[in-house]
Structure formats: C-alpha cells, structure tokens
Amino acid sequence: MKTRAGGQPEVKALARSPEIRAIFLVGFMGAGKTSVGRALSRRLGWEFEDLDDRIQAREKCTIEQIFATSGEAEFRRAEHEALRELISEPNFAPRVVALGGGTFVHNANLLAEGGFLTIFLDAPIEELFRRCQEQAIERPLRRDLQQFRELYEQRRPFYLKASLNIQTGGKQIEAIAAEAARCLDFKQK
C-alpha cells in the first residue's frame, strides 16, 4: 500500500460500479461507523442501517443483555444470522451499513462472497478509547486501555482487508463521509 506524506495510507478512488448495492463500514469501537454511516447515506441518498439495531430487533433484547445472559458466542451467532438475513434480502435497496467492531472479523467471508464493498474506518487507539469513554453507550468488550489495545491489535489485520481504508482521527464526521464518497466516485448530493 502506498503512503502519502506523513505516513498516512493513500486512498485511491474506485470507479463507480453499478453492481454496488451496499457499503459496509468496518472498524474498531469508536471509529465512527454509525455516525459516518448516517452522513454517508444522506450524501449518497441511500438507506442507512446499523447491524446492531437489526440484532436487537431480532433478539428482542439489547446487545449488552445478550452478552450478559448468553455470552459472546451467542452474540456472534445472532450477529452472523442478522448479517446473513440482511445480505439475503430479495429486494435489497442500496444502503450503507455500520457493522459492529467484531462483525467483519467473524464474517468477512460472507461479505467477500457477496462482492460487497467494505470501508475500514481507523483512528489512533488512544482516540478510539477516548471516543468510547465519551459515549453513553455500554460496550461489553471495552475494558481498560491495555485490553482495548490488545483487542484492537488482534482485529486490525482483518480490518485491513477491507476494500478501502480511511483514517478518521481528528476529522469531522461530514469530512469523513465526503472523503468516502470521493473515494467511491459517487456524485455528491
């Protein structure tokens, strides 16, 4: 992968493909997948979906409750089924989908087989941890900074397999969405 001045990865534009039916945002906790996903979907005129919302609707309980009562293995099963359901919908309208931090790690093959476009949103680990601390969202796998860092380092090699990688550190949500749209060569709204 080429790098720009300052050591940042170069993001090359992809030609707009008529077969792109969905863009899946992947990355670690606090990367901005939901916030950027909403902004990108508005920009593209597409639907937005957060996979966690689908999981909670299917399971009729919160993510935290699934982890607390049934553990991570049961959550991953529910996550896999929700993702399979989403990508198998017969009238799949174009959409931007925010995936949970571990979804791409555990389900990359489902997305690769379907030819779906994936974008890895990344930021420095300290910034990711700070963002998570500032949010009122309970994150079952967020513990102390050291454990957070170890989980990030385990997952990052999987995230790097995404179609595009975009750094979100120090950037505003709308700027990240605009960068993603430019990389995709989609017409700006």
pLDDT tens, residue by residue, 69-97: 998 889 999 999 999 999 998 887 899 99
In the predicted model, what is the mean pLDDT of residues 151-171? Answer: 94
* 78 C-beta neighbours (distance < 10 Å), count: 19
Question: Structure pTM?
Answer: 0.84
Domains and CATH numbers, the chain: 22-184 (3.40.50.300)
CA gap 118, 141 in Å, rounded? 23
In the predicted model, what is the mean pLDDT of residues 172-189? Answer: 80
Query: For 13-62, how does the pLDDT look when each residue is reduced to its tens digit (9 = 90+)?
Result: 343 444 677 999 999 988 999 999 999 999 999 999 999 999 999 999 99
Q: Answer yes or no: is pLDDT of 147 > 90.
A: no
